[in-house]
Structure 1
C-alpha cells in the first residue's frame, strides 16, 4: 500500500506540473492512477480534494491575472450541473464517460501539428457561450472529479494569455471543487481512504505549483499552446486505453489472432458470443458467426438434413464476405468432426 501511495504522489507531482504549464489536465491524467488504489466511484472525491488545494495555490500566485468576466458567467452556469453530475455518480459508472472524453481529447491531435501563432487581440466570446461551457464543465466535473483539458481549447481560443488561463481556470474550478466535496460527503463518498489519497494528491499539487512558478515565465505563448494540445492528446490516449480495457473486461470482450501461411485467423468474443475473423490473401476477409438451426434458410436445411442423421451434435455458421454469404455445417458423430459447405 505504501508503494502505491508513493506512486500516486510521484504521478500527481508530474501531472500537476504539466497541468500548470499546459493550462490543466492533471485530473484526467490521474484518473487511471487513482483507480489503482481506490474504487472507481470514490476516485472523483479524492481527485477533488487534491484539485481544490491545487486551485487555491494557483489563485494565490496568479490572482492579478484572473479574468473576472469569464468567472462571472462560467461559475453560476456550472453550479446546478455539478450537483447533477455528482448525483448521477451514485448510480452510473463513470468509465463509459471517460471513454467518450478520451476520444474527444484525441480529436485534438491535428492541433498538435498545426503551427501555433503568438496570441492576438481576440474579441471576447458571447456570454451564452460562457454559460454553455460552464454548464458542461460543471456536469462533467461532478461526474468524473475532473474537467482539466476538456475545455482547455475554449480558453485558448478565447484570447487569454498563459498566465490568465492558469489563473482564470483556478478561479472557475475552486468553487466547483468545494461544492463537489460537500456533495460527495452527503452521498457518503468521503471515506478515510479517500481523505488520505486526496491529501497526498494535494501535497503533490503544492509541490508542482512551486516548481512550475519558476518554469512558466520561460515558456512562449506558442509553446504553452503546443504543450496544452500535447497534454490533451496524451490524456485522451490514457483515458481511452484504460476505459476501453475496463469496458472490455466487464463485457467479456476479447480479441485473439494468429497468423497463417495465407493470412490470419482470429476470434472476437463479446459476452457469450464469438465471431470468427479470417483473412486470406486470395479470398479477402470473412466473418463467421454461429447461428441457430432455425435461422438457416429452408433450402440449406434440406441439403443439411441428410448430413446430420445420427449426429451427436451439430453447429451451423454463417459466413459473410464482400458480396457473398454462405453457410458451414459442423457435424460431431462418434467423436469425429466433419465440415460441410452449404
Structure 2
C-alpha cells in the first residue's frame, strides 16, 4: 500500500512525532525539514540523529552476567570451573559476577539496525555517512540475528526512556522491512502494512489527545459486554475482549473509532463492493454494548486509510438508534489536510469546539 511519494513518507514522520513526543524536540528539526523518498531513508535519518543525541549522554548501560577466570575473588565463586582450573594447574578462580555494560539488548538492536540500513540502496549517501560516524562507538557491542531478537524483553524506565523511539524505529526496520532470501540472507523490503497499522492507530489516538483537550476522555478503552442473567459474570470469560482503538467522550456522548489500515478497503461480492463484513459487525458490537441503555449517545466509525481504489467509503447509517459508519483518511495529502479531516470527524459528532 505504501507508495514512494515524499509527502507520504514525510507523513510517516509526522505520525511518529505524535506517537513519540521526543521527535518534537529541537535536535530533530533537520529531519522535519527534509524530504524522503522512502521509509528506510527516513528511519536512517531519525536513528542517526537520535543515536548522536544519546551518545552525548552516554549509551545506556545495564548489569550483565559475566563468567571469567580471575586472580582474585569477584562476585560468586564458580566451584566446578575453579576445580577444573586447579586440575589444569591454572592458578585462577572461576568467578560469576554482574557488571555494568553497554553490550546489552538495547544497544545490540541499535547496531544491528544500523548495519542493515547501511546495506540498503534506498538510504541516502549522506545519511549513511552519519550512521557510520555513530557506528564507531559500537565496537564492543555484539550484532544480533533479526529473527531472534526478543522484543518482548525490552522494558523502559527512567534511565532508558529515550530509547523507546529508537527501539520502535529499529522494530520497524528489523521486523517490518527485512525478508529472508533463499540463501538465508536478509534484504530490505517495503514498510509492512502490519507495522503501519499500529502506527496509524497510535497517531490518531495521540492526535485527539493532544489537540482536542475539550473532550472529557480520550483513550483506547475496553467495552464491557452487556450481558443479562444470573450466570452472566461467570460466562463472560468465554467472550473475547472488546478493545477499541480510539474512544472519545464528551460528557454523555461517546464516539468509538476503529482505525483500519488495509491494502484493500472494500470487499467485492457478485460485482458489488461493500465494507468488510467483519469490520461492520465489530463496530456495531462495540457501539451497542457500550450504549447498554439505548440512549443513542454512542456512535462508531470505521476510519480507513485511503488506498488507490476508486471507491472510498464516506457513509453514516442509523443502526438501531445509533450512528455507525465508515470514513476514509487520505494519508497522501499535505499533513494539514489530514488533521483537518480528523478535526471534522470530531466536529461532526460533538459540535464545533475550541481546539
Name the one with the larger helix percent.
Answer: 1
Flag the structure with higher strand content: 2
Instruction: Determine which structure has more spread, i.e. the larger CA radius of gyration.
Output: 1
TM-score normalised by length of structure 1: 0.25
Which structure is richer in relative contact order (CA contacts within 8 A, separation 6 or more)? Answer: 1
TM-score by length of 2: 0.24
